[in-house]
């Protein structure tokens, strides 16, 4: 099997895992409501923080694509976001997931979303590491020993002198990230259905 086929398979696993996680989480959240009163300053503050996290995720994922777009199977990229963590796309996706959870107005849901997203990526990360180790050998091992797997070490930051950008990949990543923004109207509608009694509230979480 070719390197590009291997990489496509790993990315397919990632998408399936994330899609399953999102589906289960969204169904569960139909019956969960924030324990913070709707309209209160605390509730609104959590939602604002969630929206900010979603924006960070969208911009962060786009930033990553500036460096990695179309080159993941061809070379080890260790500049920009990839100089502080080996998996910045996953980091920003977890941040976005936490932001989506915060749109419920619950810190607990935000943390759960972030942690579950990280765990859903962990298997794929480990498989990708094995693939990259076999494909790039010592070059990747050196990168692996320098840069943390997930949680960023900003003291390691190094930038590139010049970037070669593929606009199509950049636009696709940005537009994919906009899906996170759907969380706001979705959860506002769910909250409305809960308040009128159409959806039963089984749990209240802070």
Domain map of the chain by residue range?
Answer: 3-205
CA 123 to chain centre: 15
Q: Between these two residues, 186 and 167, which has the higher pLDDT value?
A: 186
DSSP secondary structure of 51-110 = HHHHHHHHHHHHHHHHHHTTTTTTS---SGGGGT-S-HHHHHHHHHHHHHHHTTT-HHHH
Report the DSSP beta bridge partners of residue 34.
Answer: 205
- Of 18-22, 89-93, 160-164, the least confident: 18-22
Q: Residues 88-133: pLDDT tens digits?
A: 999 999 999 999 889 888 999 999 999 988 888 888 888 888 888 8
pTM exceeds cut of 0.75? yes
What is the model's pLDDT at position 7? 60
Q: Residues 67-84: pLDDT tens digits?
A: 886 565 567 889 999 999
Nearest to 121 by CA among 15, 28, 6, 50: 15
Distance, CA of 89 to CA of 64 (rounded, Å): 6
CB 72 within 8 A of CB 30: no
Distance, CA of 123 to CA of 20 (rounded, Å): 14
What is the model's pLDDT at position 84? 96
CB 177 within 8 A of CB 57: yes
With cut-offs at 50, 70 and 90, classify the pLDDT of residue 2.
low
- Of 10-24, 101-115, 174-188, the least confident: 10-24
Residue linked to tokens 């694509």: 65
What is the model's pLDDT at position 11? 66
Distance, CA of 200 to CA of 96 (rounded, Å): 27
pLDDT average, residue stretch 149-170 = 86
Q: Between these two residues, 102 and 25, which has the higher pLDDT value?
A: 102
- Of 43-52, 71-80, 86-95, 179-188, the least confident: 71-80
């Amino acid at each position: 099997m070719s390197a590009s086929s291997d990489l496509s398979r790993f990315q397919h696993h990632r998408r399936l895992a994330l899609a399953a996680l999102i589906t289960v989480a969204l169904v569960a959240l139909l019956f969960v409501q924030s324990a913070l009163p709707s309209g209160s300053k605390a509730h609104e503050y959590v939602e604002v923080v969630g929206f900010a996290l979603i924006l960070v995720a969208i911009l962060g994922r786009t930033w990553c694509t500036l460096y990695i777009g179309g080159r993941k199977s061809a070379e080890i990229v260790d500049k920009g976001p990839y100089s502080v963590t080996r998996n910045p796309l996953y980091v920003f996706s977890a941040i976005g997931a936490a932001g989506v959870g915060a749109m419920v107005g619950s810190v607990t849901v935000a943390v759960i979303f972030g942690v579950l997203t990280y765990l859903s990526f962990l298997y794929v990360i480990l498989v990708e590491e094995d693939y990259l180790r076999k494909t790039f050998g010592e070059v990747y091992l050196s990168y692996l020993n320098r840069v943390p797997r997930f949680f960023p070490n900003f003291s390691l930051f190094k930038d590139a002198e010049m970037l070669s950008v593929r606009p199509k990949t950049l636009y696709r990543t940005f537009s994919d990230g906009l899906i996170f923004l759907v969380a706001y109207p979705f959860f506002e509608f769910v909250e409305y259905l809960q308040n009128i009694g159409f959806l039963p509230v089984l749990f209240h979480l802070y």
